[in-house]
Every structure is written in C-alpha cells, then in structure tokens.
Amino acid sequence: MSTPEKLSPLARHIIFVQTQIIHKSDLPEDQGAAGVVRDYGVFGSIGFFLEYEAKFDTLADSVKRVAWILHAIAIRHPFQNGNKRTAFVVADAILREEWGFRIGASQGEKGNFLIEVADYRHDVDDVEGWIWKYLEKDDDI
C-alpha cells in the first residue's frame, strides 16, 4: 500500500496536478481540497500496473497506459475533489509529452465522458477507444 512517504514520482506529479487544478478553481466545493488525498492506494495500483503490466514502446502502448491511468483516477477517486479533471489532464499531458498528440475532445465531450467513467459506465477498453477517437496531433508542440 502506498503511503505519503513512499510515493512514486508519478504519484507525486499526479498530486501536484490536482493541487494546481484546485488552486485555479473558483468552485466553492474545491476550496480547501488542494492536495487532499483520500486514498493513497490508488497510486500503488497505478505503480503496480506501470511496473508489471504496461509497455512503453509505441503510441498504442501509451494510449493503453493513459487509458488505464485515467480510468483508475476517475473511478477510484483518490482525491477529495478534482478527480476527473486530474485524470484527464494527466492522460493528455503524457500523450503530449511522449508522442506530440493530444485528446482533442470538446469540453462538453470530455465532461460527459468522464462523468460516465466515474459512474462506472465505461471500462478501460472503452476509455482507450474514446482516446483513439479524439486523438490528434498537437500543433502547439
């Protein structure tokens, strides 16, 4: 089980992303939620997946990996608030950095899909398919 003292660099980065998202939010329910982790075990399961299951050689490997990360964060809710936003930003950032691609869904499409994921209406394969549907070259890179 992960504890705050034994977090991986990726887990620390995910917490950093959530903190930044919450600090920029003006939603009343986000006040005081920056960096508040409810379940450190989520980060342990992500680390286990990355160490033993994930491959890193191709764009397809990365899409599968970020689908798994997005799904894990969205359904397991490690944070008090900002789980869906954090899940998307982390997945999108990995694809941008590793391959120069982004998830080009509109705000509405992202929001609706992430709500459905968090409501257990989509499995990891569905998330992977959704990412492929909206994957596009990032012209800003």
CATH code of the domain containing 9: 1.20.120.1870
CB–CB of 44/1 below 8 Å? yes
> Is the pLDDT confidence value at 100 over 60?
yes
> Is the pLDDT confidence value at 1 over 50?
no
Task: Tell me the residue range of the domain where 83 lies.
Answer: 4-25+34-137
Average pLDDT, rounded, for the chain: 92
**Helical spans, DSSP H, in the chain:** 9-24, 41-52, 59-76, 83-99, 107-118, 124-134
Tell me, what amino acid is at 131? I
**Domain count of the chain?**
1
**Confidence at residue 80, expressed as pLDDT on a 0 to 100 scale:** 95
